[in-house]
Amino acid sequence: MSNEKRVAVITGGASGIGRETSLIFAKKGDRVIVADYNEAGGKETVALIEKNGGEAAFIQVDVSNYESVEALVEQTVLQYGRIDVMFNNAGIGLPTPVAALDWDAYHRVIDVNQHGVAYGIIAASKKMRELGIKGVIINTASVFGFLASAGSFAYHATKGAVIMMSKSAALELAQYDIRVVAVAPGVVDTPIIQGYKDLGMADEMAHKVMGGKLTQPEAVAKTVYLVSLEEAEAINGSVVMADQGYASFK
């Protein structure tokens, strides 16, 4: 990598893990593209970065639409000249018991959580190859890509897919010096968890992790940053657990 500052694109940057990851990358000196459909939240993240002396810009994106994701990558390169890190993090939950599953909600979760990651992998890897950049693509998976939980039928399907897409893409892109890694959080205190709180499931989940508390988004963000570094170059095609032991204790 050259001495030029890295450029990191972070989807879902308006809140939760995405916001905290944006803040950490910027704090460490990277230039950050905060990408989200939520314009107000995304711009608020940019303002927080700039307040702390970092460099960032907001680009609105609909990750469920490939053209929108491709435009995000193109606009990033137009603005900063490169793309070193693509963090495909945007996601939704919409927890519903399987017997009462709403098909529109099901397809919405698939479109955002699964297709959105696929689009990010494809668009970013094409641009990294074109620019000859030794980049890294990081995807938000979940312990629920391995473990079952009530009310999460569609969510489980998407996170299992993210894990296997990450492994498959890593296998193909290694020849171009592009790494692909999945980070699997456990039960994180983000807007997604609110639905589980409403169903009375969040407290039960929290009791199964170290300390008995929901993981804070900043803890996951720190893991994402560490995975992005050149020092982590041996980590490729892996699922890095950021779950405070949830998968082990369950």
Q: How confident is the model at residue 218, as a pLDDT?
A: 95
Q: Which entry of 119, 155, 196, 225 is annotated as an active-site residue?
A: 155
- The predicted-structure confidence for 137-195, as pLDDT tens digits, reads as follows 999 999 999 998 888 899 999 999 999 999 999 999 999 999 999 999 988 766 666 55
Q: Which fold has domain 7-186+217-245?
A: Rossmann fold (3.40.50)
155 in active site? yes
Of the listed ranges 64-68, 111-115, 209-213, the one predicted with least confidence: 209-213
Of all residues in the chain, the percent with pLDDT exceeding 70 is 88
Mean pLDDT for the chain overall: 91
Average pLDDT over residues 1-5: 68
Exposure on the CB side of residue 250, measured as CA atoms within 13 A: 16
**Residue 48 CB: number of other CB atoms within 10 A?**
16
Q: At what angle do helices 217-228 and 16-27 cross, to 10 degrees?
A: 50
Q: How confident is the model at residue 152, as a pLDDT?
A: 87
Q: How confident is the model at residue 192, as a pLDDT?
A: 62
Res 202 pLDDT > 80: no
- b/e code 160-196 from CB counts within 10 Å (16+ = b): bbbbebbbebbeebeeeebbbbbbbbbbbbbebbebb
Res 130 pLDDT > 90: yes
Domains of the chain, by residue range, sit at 7-186+217-245
- Model confidence at 1, pLDDT cuts 50, 70, 90, reads very low
Res 197 pLDDT > 80: no
- The predicted-structure confidence for 46-102, as pLDDT tens digits, reads as follows 999 999 999 999 999 999 999 999 999 999 999 999 999 999 999 998 877 889 989
Res 3 pLDDT > 90: no
Quickly list DSSP for 98-153: GGG--HHHHHHHIIIIIIHHHHHHHHHHHHHHHHT---EEEEE--GGGTS--TTBH
- Model confidence at 243, pLDDT cuts 50, 70, 90, reads confident
Average pLDDT over residues 121-147: 97
Residue 176 per-residue DSSP state:
G
What is the pTM assigned to this prediction? 0.92
